[in-house]
Chains A and B, each alone.
Chain A
């Protein structure tokens, strides 16, 4: 018995892969996209098709979040595959790239299989895995990149830790080329950043907090870019937050190097003034920067120097945030708010909608080598429906993540996800 064809009609179809923005519909059969385009209307549907009217709202390929921490296994008090899956679905995210800072660390091929199995059983959206770059994320010895790659990891990274030992970084980059694995880096010189909890600048000085100089980012990017030039590796800066580092990226891209850059919504939407009154919930690493750097990040998104916006979703328990600022753990959740916060860039006229979606679909899918991020015949029907205009106020406690450490609690946002489909199945509906 075959399942009936489903038709999503009367939608504004946004496909950043083909740069198309049209009215039309999508036909779904057995979880796959059977057809899509302007020709799919109420009048052209196959017999027996189950119709869903999108009422003119935007239908786009499901978002691919290139950078998130799922905390399972080992830190389930902060987040689980199940809760992260619900939060992702509510944010229009249909694929999460899970980082390896679990317990144990994903530095062993056997763990990759285990995590994949758990994700399949309990996460509403798709999960791909980034393996550890060094054993135990300790920055001392290369992890088994080859075996991890064969087990299915899509990238390697030490997550929030940058590699201090430049020789190790050199070898890791050289080694990664054999498996065509991108290395995702936390671009912050570890010695300069050590102990710093806020960006160097006026706010830090007044607040009396130990700061990280902004150049810590550019120095590491500059260092790594030179190693990339020597080794020919694929390299991705997870989240850039300063103009100087972006200038270095521009040069590297002009030189034709295989490098890409990401940022997170909090770096284009917030600055260090958020930390007034010692708001630990806005403590992130790298730290929120001064206003001129935030504007430079927007410039980077506009001119394509920044390829990817990812959530940098890092759940932290309330206990680890309700402490004096310097003791608070860095990190914010972001799966649910990545798109709505980033829509500010669209509403402010900084980037058009397709370009903005590109940073959360096509670009991360390309980095990670995934068949995702596009509306394509024959592909899985991973899609989401959203309203670019709907105003709402973020209520941290109402977010679906197990941890509620959002930096946007109380913020007024414009634009919201209405419905999310993974393999044609609705996994979220507002």
Chain B
């Protein structure tokens, strides 16, 4: 499936994984495979989105996600504009809707938004005429991260269905976790979440996951171990007592990993806190760590999303 053989995507926006089905996800992943191959050739540029405008509207600091979206848009030939909160009129007190209306008047084709509040992309999508991609909203979802994780797993393991995936760390505040839980459940994986009680949301089991507070139990026989970043402000006595205690009980090292499957794959959405949630001996071991590959797949997945959402919707 390539763009010369356009098949329409069933959604106008990519707001969250929860509203996609397995067909949608497979469609994105298959197209992303194709872009991953192109990205490994010398001629990476296509002109599929020539003449189209992509605005990256980032209300939160981001390096890798914004760069990844920017590169994806540019490789498809779009004109890409980056707006970050520091330089925007938001600082002058403009509301999200006013910002949206202003941008809308410039006739963009795709808006990528990252915002600190859950649901901000959904509000924006109601107000603009173009496609909206959620680049991460509060503690809600980060759909392209889950898609790139899924692509990475699929390439390494050949499938998603039936795999035991342990997502470890700060589940409570993690949009990456929520998107991954949704996607992996749709695709038939067995999802576990592992973390301290203070960082596991109440009613977590209702998300269709098994909940663990001990790494030795949660990682047992896991095919995939996804580590989440722990924000600095949460490790000094508010949610966990200290970095050393967190690392002692929840930091991934070879010993804790030893109960997982022998060929278990380690993932991390970045940026990593070495010595907090992950030991360097694991993060840097290319045989077990898929962390660089995740970044590579990020561009491919975002190209696929931009491609699919820019296609004319033919009724």
The docked-state distance in angstroms from the alpha carbon of A142 to that of B242 is 8
- A162 and B240 alpha carbons, distance in the complex (Å): 20
**In the assembled complex, which residues on chain B have CB atoms less than 8 Å from the CB atom of A140?**
237
The answer to whether A141 touches B197, judged by C-beta atoms less than 8 angstroms apart, is no
Q: How far is the CA of A146 from the CA of B215 in the complex (A)?
A: 14
Q: Kindly state whether residue B241 has any CB partner on chain A within 8 Å.
A: yes
**B197/A143 in contact, CB under 8 A:** no
Q: In the complex the two chains form, is A144's CB within 8 Å of B245's CB?
A: yes
Q: Which of B198, B241, B249 contacts A141 (CB under 8 A)?
A: B241
The reply to whether B198 and A171 contact each other, CB–CB distance below 8 Å, is: yes
* Residue in A closest to B213 when the chains form the complex, CB atoms: A178
- Please provide the chain A residues from 166 to 184 with a CB less than 8 Å away from any CB of chain B in the complex: 168, 171, 174-175, 177-178
- Distance (whole angstroms) from the CB of B292 to the closest CB of chain A: 32
Q: In the assembly, what is the distance between CA of A168 and CA of B241, in Å?
A: 11
Determine if A426 is an interface residue (Cβ-Cβ < 8 Å): no
Name the contact of B197 in the complex, choosing from A135, A168, A174 (C-beta under 8 A).
A174
Decide if A145 touches B198 in the complex (CB within 8 Å). Answer: no
Which residues in A have their C-beta under 8 angstroms from that of B239?
A: 171
CB-based contact A178/B240 at 8 Å: no
How would residues 227 to 265 of chain B score, 1 for a CB under 8 Å from any chain A CB and 0 otherwise? Answer: 000000000111111101100110000000000000000
A171 B238 Cβ-Cβ under 8 A = yes
Please state if A144 and B244 are interface contacts (CB–CB under 8 Å): yes
Say yes or no for A114: interface residue by CB 8 A criterion: no
Q: Is B136 an interface residue (CB 8 A)?
A: no
Residues of the A chain whose Cβ atoms lie less than 8 Å from the Cβ of B269: none
User: Which residue on chain B has the smallest CB distance to residue A145?
Assistant: B241
Verify A147–B244 contact, CB threshold 8 A.
yes
Kindly provide the distance from the CB of A66 to the nearest chain B CB, expressed in whole angstroms. Answer: 24
**Contact, CB under 8 Å: A135 / B237:** yes
In the complex, are the beta carbons of B249 and A146 less than 8 A apart?
yes
Which residues from chain A contact B240 at a C-beta distance below 8 Å?
142, 175
Contact between B241 and A146, CB atoms less than 8 A apart:
yes
Using a Cβ cutoff of 8 Å, how many contacts connect chains A and B? 47
* Residues of the A chain whose Cβ atoms lie less than 8 Å from the Cβ of B245: 144-147
CA distance A168 to B237 in the complex (A): 9
Contact A144 B213 (CB under 8 A): no
Q: How far is the CA of A142 from the CA of B197 in the complex (A)?
A: 14
Min CB–CB distance B225 → chain A (angstroms) = 19
A178 to B241, CA, bound (A): 13
Scan B192-206; emit 1 where CB is below 8 A from any A CB, else 0.
Answer: 000011100010000
Tell yes or no: A38 within 8 A of B by CB. Answer: no
Judging by beta carbons under 8 Å apart, are B244 and A141 in contact? no
Query: Would A174 and B198 count as touching, CB distance under 8 A?
Result: yes
Q: Which residues on the A side are within 8 Å of B244 (C-beta)?
A: 144, 147
A316 to chain B, nearest CB (A): 30
Contact partners of B236 in chain A: CB under 8 A: 141
A144 pairs with B198, CB closer than 8 A:
no
Q: Which residues of B contact A175 (CB under 8 A)?
A: 196-198, 240-241
Count of chain A residues with a beta carbon within 8 Å of a chain B beta carbon: 18
From DSSP, what is the main secondary structure of chain B's interface residues? loop
A39 to B144, CA, bound (A): 76
Residues of B within 8 A of A141 (CB): 236-238, 241
Cβ contacts A175-212/B at 8 Å (1 or 0 each): 10110000000000000000000000000000000000
A160 within 8 A of B: no
Q: Closest Cβ of chain A: how far from B216's Cβ, in Å?
A: 12
Q: Which of B178-232 contact A (CB under 8 A)?
A: 196-198, 202, 213-214
A223-237 vs B, Cβ < 8 Å mask (1 yes, 0 no): 000000011000000
- Chain B residues lying within 8 Å of A174, measured Cβ to Cβ, are 197-198
In Å, the complex CA distance between A134 and B240 comes to 11
Q: How far is the CA of A204 from the CA of B241 in the complex (A)?
A: 41
Task: List A contacts of B241 (CB < 8 A).
Answer: 135, 141-147, 175
Residues in B neighbouring A168, C-beta threshold 8 A: 238
Q: Is the CB of B248 within 8 A of A178?
A: no
What residue of chain A has the Cβ atom nearest to residue B249's Cβ?
A: A146
Greatest chain A CB density within 10 A among B198, B239, B241 is at B241
- Shortest distance between the CB of A178 and any CB in chain B (Å): 5
Contacts of A147 in B (CB 8 A): 241, 244-245, 248
CB proximity to B under 8 Å, residues A113-157: 134-135, 140-147
- Docked Cα-Cα span, A245 to B236, in Å, equals 33
A423 to B66, CA, bound (A): 68
Q: How far is the CA of A171 from the CA of B249 in the complex (A)?
A: 17
Tell me whether A178 and B238 are in contact in the complex, defined as CB-CB below 8 angstroms, given that A146-B245, A146-B249 are known contacts: no
Q: Which residues of A contact B249 (CB under 8 A)?
A: 146, 178
Chain B residues, CB < 8 A from A146: 241, 245, 248-249
Task: Check B197–A178 contact: CB distance below 8 A.
Answer: yes
CB pairs A–B below 8 angstroms (29 shown): A134-B237, A135-B237, A135-B241, A140-B237, A141-B236, A141-B238, A142-B237, A142-B240, A142-B241, A143-B241, A144-B242, A144-B244, A145-B241, A145-B245, A146-B245, A146-B249, A147-B244, A147-B248, A171-B198, A174-B197, A174-B198, A175-B196, A175-B197, A175-B198, A175-B240, A177-B213, A178-B197, A178-B249, A231-B197
Q: A168-B238, A171-B198 given; name 19 further pairs at CB < 8 Å.
A: A141-B236, A141-B241, A142-B237, A142-B240, A142-B241, A143-B241, A144-B241, A144-B242, A144-B244, A145-B241, A146-B241, A146-B248, A147-B244, A147-B245, A175-B241, A177-B197, A178-B196, A178-B213, A230-B202
Q: Which residues of B are in contact with A by a Cβ distance under 8 Å?
A: 196-198, 202, 213-214, 236-242, 244-245, 248-249
Name the 7 nearest CB pairs between A and B, nearest first: A141-B237, A174-B197, A144-B241, A144-B245, A142-B241, A171-B198, A178-B213
